[in-house]
Chain A
Amino acid sequence: MRRNIISRLEEENSIPERLSPENIRAMLEKRLPGPIIGAKLNEVRLNGRKQGLLRAAAAAAVMVIAFGGLAISGMDRQTTPAPNSPAAEESVRIADTQGLSGLRGATYNSLYNYLKGSVSESHSYRDGPDNAYILTADDKLDVDDETEIARQFRDYYDRYTVDAEMKSVRVVTQKGFDSPEVDMSLRPELVKSDGKTVFVAGLSDIAAYTADGDHTRRIEKDFFEGTYFRNTMGQNAAFQAKNHTLKPYIIGMYLKDEVLTVLFDFHNVEEMDTKLVVTEYCGICAFDVSNADDISLIYEFEQPGTLKGSGLTEDGSLAIVSEYFNGKRRLSHFVSYKEGEVPAFAPFLFDCGSVEPVPEDSIYIANKNENSAMTYMSSFSLSTGRAERTGTLLMTCFCESLVTAGDSFYLCNTYLGKKEDERVESFGDGYATYYADPQSHIIRADYGDKDRGIAITAAKYPDSIFGTFLTDCSMEEGRLYLCSSDGAVYVFDKDLEELTDLNGYDSAYNSTGFNMGIMKKIEEDQIYVGYTSGIPVLDGSDVYYFDCYDDGTLGLSAGGGCVCRCMVDLSDPDKPDVTYYDLDGRSQSDAPALEGDLSSFWYGRTLFTDLVKMSNKEYLSVYVQPKENYEDLGEEDNLYERYLALRSLDPEDSFTYTDHLNYGDEEHGMGKIKPQESYTARAAGIKDSIKLSDDMAFSSMTTGGGGSLGFSTMSLYSKDAGAVFMPHKEKTVSQHEITQEEYEALTYEDMGRFYAETENNEDGTFTTRYYYIDEIEIKNRFRGYGVSGGRLTDLGDFSAGTWVIFDDRISDEVSFVGTYYKDGYLYAFTTATMAVTDMETGETVFEDGEMM
């Protein structure tokens, strides 16, 4: 198709003569040397992750979903039953907000007034999860779309939760690794097992297999059969009109006391005045899995918004948090609303098919909020064979950052101070606007009390200006430590009273008498490329400030090393104590080792990924470095070598290494660099490392089709097997050569099945060959690496099933999901295939395809 289009374009529109290589050569030879690109590097570039955060922050701050021109008349009353729990007419109970700063309880009427007056910026901004899940009225959904959207929902959730958990830098200390109190991951898993049955979450379905080694069998179970989600919501007139099947976009699962709880997002599509209106919803389905052959649905719940986080306590308290972007979507209901009515303008909850509004005493209006975004939080009690909802809250605010510590969520919502006129155009049809002086509102919600259900227990505005996003979180002796995206560090007590803050270098100077400001040395004519300075990372009550250098040596994107510049001990918030500093980079010998910068994942000099702690002495990580001769390699070569490393947590084993940083080369334009100079940094000692096979492409090493490796390493490490499993694929294309005539006769329907290759001949002519693809076989595999006695061993490949397709364009569509190990057998899963392998013999004993 690609060459085909070019051939056809060439037939219809010849290339202007002035672009011929000969004329271009003549033009270049006449050209006087000198800079052409006008763009100058006039500011320090943030690394990719930081930029992403800022972009996302700005986008989130103004993101509203537009349905320009839609006349929304109301819910689809044919399919959605009326609410069955109307508000009490006489004595309306509203939420008690005593002691909660910045929140007020609301009645339906005040919620109506709030939403009606809220800002609704109707740009055509369609960036939800990766720009895909919000559809306009004219968009149509088909099965492929749904699969793709499911993938993007999962990516989105990964990015929001798992990536959020990926600190830019992790300090390699025992303390840092031993701090279980705070979990920023909020991540249910994709493979769960009770030892008898393995459950695997595909993109839009759940599969179950008996964990019986060579007697493994698939348990025939349609998990969503009989759900209100499918039977009622999926029978929406809008879906029927479009001949569309509603699908869940599965985020992950929890398994607790023989109850499997599946978390998912979905589109609730409603037809309003012949228009198709898509609303983001999420839900849970809980199944009693005590009898694998009689798995039964025991509970189901849906609420508005896209999932932003979840948590499950040891005693079975489950909570979910979702963000619903535009509470004003049901505009027509605002017009018809009468005081005291159940609010049809706000989306409903669906509890086992019972349609309910959020109770009035659970609605909070955030005082400084002005937009119509709403955050929903619901809690549930899970016990053997039983699940029920214990509460739901609604807050009129975004859910910009969310972390969990124990049975508490900490939500950080940022309000924008004075608005500047600067408008930053983003890519595509929407735009984001940057504001200045954000102020944050931190809200704690506890969900561990099954009788009370989820409840807001603290809410404060920090005294100081706060960054837009939380980047790190720790807890020590009841104090909460938070880092924000602009480099500030805050310490709070259990009631969110602010104890102290280090608001960047200046603040640290004021607090400690230690001038960290001089770290930010940037000479006017030598601007670092991708230099980020003074990023704080927490290790319990210790704050480490580091500088990070992106590495442009490959002419590609970010990567590089991080240098610890300073450590501040905040164990006594009243007396911050600088315990280490190295401002000029003369020595790093006393610095802690760092693992850092996940943003360097793709092309970094060193790949830092999430870490798998093996013991108190060691952990696993993966790093990447360019091959020594990478400059001589071609475009089809793999330029990088990847290593799995068993690293030491012992500071005594850390070592100092030298790398290079680069300067922006204004003379030659944006992104160009001058020769580098060196810097030193510290890294954790490597006990053992093993080179990963060259065919283990980056893209196939991730579970989310491009997401972080961190999740996969976490889920793919098996303590029982004593091994970590790294996914990779082998693609075999069966094809035959066809004539140009046959090639030209192919139609759009054949896209993905043919291609052409053009070679330049030495005499300046071209030879084009045409091929038709008969079949593509993709062998999905996991490479096992044993971890034992401080050594790594290559255990070889284990099958995750074979996928046969006929369209090359979807060959990278399969995502790896995870593995499970039991009794010498490895159960390996992708979204399309699975296999069971006897690890002793390497024989694949069971295989299943086209799973979900």
Chain B
Amino acid sequence: MNRRTRAGLVERAVKGDAKAFAELYSGIYKKLYYYALANLGSSEDAADAVQDAVLDAFDSIGGLKNAAAFDSWLFSILSARIKRKQAEYVQGRNFGAELGEGKENDLPAEDGAFSQCEIVEGFSQLEEKQRLCLSLYTIGGYRTGEIAEMTGLRPSTVRSLISRGRKKLREILDIKKEVKK
């Protein structure tokens, strides 16, 4: 999708064109879902969060002035949804949907690769900021500077969080590998 096309799609989406919005969405929906999954740990909740974020975004796209910022803007809205969902966890309103639960998380891992459940579970063991930054980095595909803009953290903090998160995630995954052996 070239830049002109994207700007045109945003323009149409602003006017309420669901098809145009869906087209914009199609470019990043995988990243959105797996980003939500890494932060929430539950497929159902992740899908809910993405769906809610999309509805939020569609209803408020009139405020998006910069077509180029569509992806990061949608990620920001999703982040807010994720935080709300996490707050529900803390308040116990959604007890039972905590990280790592569910049958799909019991899939065996292939050699040399980490299964979804392990990666997601690994993410769940990170601190919140680490999880957020690392998932934006590895799943969202954003660079540290962009993550800094999206989260309001300083770029150096983002780098540090990613570095530490990555290291910790690796340790977690290594331990799991060892256990399997």
- Write the residues of chain A forming the contact surface with B, with a CB cutoff of 8 angstroms: 1-3, 5-6, 8-13, 15-16, 18-22, 24-25, 27-29, 31, 33-37, 39, 48, 130-132, 144-145, 148-149, 151-152, 155, 427-429, 552-557, 602-603, 630-637, 639, 665, 668-669, 671-673, 699, 704-706, 745, 747-748, 751, 760, 812-813
The answer to whether B145 touches A812, judged by C-beta atoms less than 8 angstroms apart, is yes
Query: Closest 8 interchain pairs by CB?
Result: A634-B3, A672-B63, A12-B116, A25-B22, A635-B68, A28-B18, A21-B26, A706-B155
The answer to whether A37 touches B63, judged by C-beta atoms less than 8 angstroms apart, is no
The answer to whether B160 touches A131, judged by C-beta atoms less than 8 angstroms apart, is yes
The answer to whether B127 touches A428, judged by C-beta atoms less than 8 angstroms apart, is yes
The answer to whether B59 touches A555, judged by C-beta atoms less than 8 angstroms apart, is no
User: Bound state CA distance, A675 and B166, in angstroms?
Assistant: 43
Set A6, A37, A635: member contacting B60, Cβ < 8 A: A37
Set A15, A20, A553: member contacting B65, Cβ < 8 A: A553
The answer to whether B149 touches A557, judged by C-beta atoms less than 8 angstroms apart, is yes
Task: Return the chain B residue nearest A671 by Cβ.
Answer: B63
User: Bound state CA distance, A632 and B67, in angstroms?
Assistant: 8
Could you tell me which residues of chain B, from 5 to 58, have a CB within 8 Å of some CB in chain A?
6-7, 16, 18-19, 21-23, 25-27, 29-31, 33-34, 37, 43, 47, 50-52, 54-56, 58
The answer to whether B69 touches A556, judged by C-beta atoms less than 8 angstroms apart, is yes
Residues in B with CB closer than 8 Å to A34 are: 59
Given A21-B25, A634-B7, A665-B63, are A31 and B68 neighbors across the interface (CB < 8 Å)?
no
The answer to whether B170 touches A427, judged by C-beta atoms less than 8 angstroms apart, is no
Q: Does B91 make an interface contact (CB < 8 A)?
A: no
Counting chain A CB atoms within 10 Å of each CB, the highest count among B37, B59, B145, B153 belongs to B59
The answer to whether B66 touches A556, judged by C-beta atoms less than 8 angstroms apart, is yes
Contact with A along B111-148 (1 / 0, CB 8 A): 01111110110000001110000000111110111001
Q: Does B156 make an interface contact (CB < 8 A)?
A: yes
Residues in A with CB closer than 8 Å to B156 are: 130, 132, 148, 151-152, 155, 704-706
Given A5-B139, A16-B47, A22-B22, are A152 and B157 neighbors across the interface (CB < 8 Å)?
yes
Set B60, B114, B128: member contacting A36, Cβ < 8 A: B60
Q: Does B104 make an interface contact (CB < 8 A)?
A: yes
The answer to whether B63 touches A13, judged by C-beta atoms less than 8 angstroms apart, is no
The answer to whether A9 touches B116, judged by C-beta atoms less than 8 angstroms apart, is yes
The answer to whether B113 touches A8, judged by C-beta atoms less than 8 angstroms apart, is yes
The answer to whether A27 touches B51, judged by C-beta atoms less than 8 angstroms apart, is yes
The answer to whether B62 touches A672, judged by C-beta atoms less than 8 angstroms apart, is yes
Q: List 14 A-B contacts (CB under 8 A).
A: A2-B140, A15-B29, A22-B22, A31-B55, A35-B60, A36-B52, A36-B59, A132-B160, A148-B163, A155-B156, A556-B149, A632-B7, A705-B156, A813-B159
Residues in A with CB closer than 8 Å to B98 are: none
B123 shortest CB reach to chain A, Å: 10
Q: Does B64 make an interface contact (CB < 8 A)?
A: yes
Residues in A with CB closer than 8 Å to B34 are: 5-6, 9-10
The answer to whether A28 touches B116, judged by C-beta atoms less than 8 angstroms apart, is no
Residues in A with CB closer than 8 Å to B115 are: 12
The answer to whether B138 touches A2, judged by C-beta atoms less than 8 angstroms apart, is yes
User: Bound state CA distance, A673 and B64, in angstroms?
Assistant: 9
A100 shortest CB reach to chain B, Å: 37
Task: Return the chain A residue nearest B65 by Cβ.
Answer: A555
Residues in A with CB closer than 8 Å to B54 are: 24, 27-28
User: Bound state CA distance, A699 and B148, in angstroms?
Assistant: 11
User: Bound state CA distance, A144 and B167, in angstroms?
Assistant: 11
The answer to whether B62 touches A554, judged by C-beta atoms less than 8 angstroms apart, is no
Given A636-B3, A639-B66, A812-B144, are A760 and B26 neighbors across the interface (CB < 8 Å)?
yes
Contact with A along B145-180 (1 / 0, CB 8 A): 100110111111101110110100010000000000
User: Bound state CA distance, A555 and B26, in angstroms?
Assistant: 22
The answer to whether A429 touches B127, judged by C-beta atoms less than 8 angstroms apart, is yes
User: Bound state CA distance, A28 and B157, in angstroms?
Assistant: 37
Residues in B with CB closer than 8 Å to A553 are: 65
Task: Return the chain A residue nearest B54 by Cβ.
Answer: A24
| Apart from A9-B116, A27-B54, A130-B156, 20 more pairs, CB < 8 Å | A2-B137, A12-B115, A15-B33, A18-B47, A22-B22, A36-B55, A148-B160, A148-B163, A155-B156, A429-B127, A552-B65, A554-B69, A630-B66, A633-B68, A634-B2, A634-B4, A669-B59, A704-B156, A705-B156, A812-B155
Residues in B with CB closer than 8 Å to A37 are: 56, 59-60
Given A10-B30, A28-B22, A672-B62, are A634 and B51 neighbors across the interface (CB < 8 Å)?
no
Residues in A with CB closer than 8 Å to B1 are: 760
Task: Return the chain A residue nearest B151 by Cβ.
Answer: A427
Given A12-B107, A19-B29, are A668 and B128 neighbors across the interface (CB < 8 Å)?
no
Residues in B with CB closer than 8 Å to A155 are: 154, 156
Task: Return the chain A residue nearest B174 by Cβ.
Answer: A748
Residues in B with CB closer than 8 Å to A13 are: 37, 43, 104, 116
Residues in A with CB closer than 8 Å to B143 are: 812
The answer to whether B63 touches A673, judged by C-beta atoms less than 8 angstroms apart, is yes
Residues in B with CB closer than 8 Å to A27 are: 51, 54-55
The answer to whether B155 touches A699, judged by C-beta atoms less than 8 angstroms apart, is yes
The answer to whether B128 touches A5, judged by C-beta atoms less than 8 angstroms apart, is no
The answer to whether B60 touches A668, judged by C-beta atoms less than 8 angstroms apart, is yes
Residues in A with CB closer than 8 Å to B3 are: 632-637
User: Bound state CA distance, A815 and B48, in angstroms?
Assistant: 42
User: Bound state CA distance, A167 and B119, in angstroms?
Assistant: 46
The answer to whether A748 touches B25, judged by C-beta atoms less than 8 angstroms apart, is no
Q: Does B73 make an interface contact (CB < 8 A)?
A: yes
Task: Return the chain B residue nearest A630 by Cβ.
Answer: B66
Given A8-B116, A33-B59, A144-B163, are A706 and B66 neighbors across the interface (CB < 8 Å)?
no
User: Bound state CA distance, A553 and B65, in angstroms?
Assistant: 6
User: Bound state CA distance, A80 and B126, in angstroms?
Assistant: 35
Residues in B with CB closer than 8 Å to A747 are: 112
Task: Return the chain B residue nearest A12 by Cβ.
Answer: B116
The answer to whether A639 touches B60, judged by C-beta atoms less than 8 angstroms apart, is no
Set A25, A552, A631: member contacting B7, Cβ < 8 A: A631
User: Bound state CA distance, A148 and B58, in angstroms?
Assistant: 40
Given A6-B30, A12-B116, A635-B3, are A602 and B149 neighbors across the interface (CB < 8 Å)?
yes
User: Bound state CA distance, A131 and B156, in angstroms?
Assistant: 10
The answer to whether B63 touches A28, judged by C-beta atoms less than 8 angstroms apart, is no
User: Bound state CA distance, A103 and B145, in angstroms?
Assistant: 45
Set B18, B25, B67, B114: member contacting A631, Cβ < 8 A: B67
Residues in B with CB closer than 8 Å to A48 are: 152
The answer to whether B29 touches A2, judged by C-beta atoms less than 8 angstroms apart, is no
The answer to whether B128 touches A428, judged by C-beta atoms less than 8 angstroms apart, is yes
User: Bound state CA distance, A6 and B120, in angstroms?
Assistant: 12
The answer to whether A760 touches B27, judged by C-beta atoms less than 8 angstroms apart, is yes
Contact with A along B94-117 (1 / 0, CB 8 A): 000000000010010000111111
User: Bound state CA distance, A12 and B155, in angstroms?
Assistant: 32
Given A13-B116, A131-B160, A669-B56, are A33 and B68 neighbors across the interface (CB < 8 Å)?
no
Residues in B with CB closer than 8 Å to A427 are: 128-129, 151, 153
The answer to whether A148 touches B69, judged by C-beta atoms less than 8 angstroms apart, is no
A564 shortest CB reach to chain B, Å: 28
The answer to whether B157 touches A132, judged by C-beta atoms less than 8 angstroms apart, is yes
Task: Return the chain A residue nearest B47 by Cβ.
Answer: A16
Task: Return the chain B residue nearest A10 by Cβ.
Answer: B30
User: Bound state CA distance, A384 and B25, in angstroms?
Assistant: 68
A331 shortest CB reach to chain B, Å: 25
User: Bound state CA distance, A33 and B61, in angstroms?
Assistant: 12
Set B4, B55, B119: member contacting A9, Cβ < 8 A: B119
Given A33-B16, A37-B56, A556-B69, are A131 and B129 neighbors across the interface (CB < 8 Å)?
yes
Residues in B with CB closer than 8 Å to A35 are: 59-60
A809 shortest CB reach to chain B, Å: 8
Given A634-B6, A705-B156, are A25 and B21 neighbors across the interface (CB < 8 Å)?
yes
User: Bound state CA distance, A6 and B65, in angstroms?
Assistant: 29
User: Bound state CA distance, A792 and B30, in angstroms?
Assistant: 49
User: Bound state CA distance, A630 and B65, in angstroms?
Assistant: 10
Counting chain B CB atoms within 10 Å of each CB, the highest count among A1, A28, A48, A748 belongs to A28
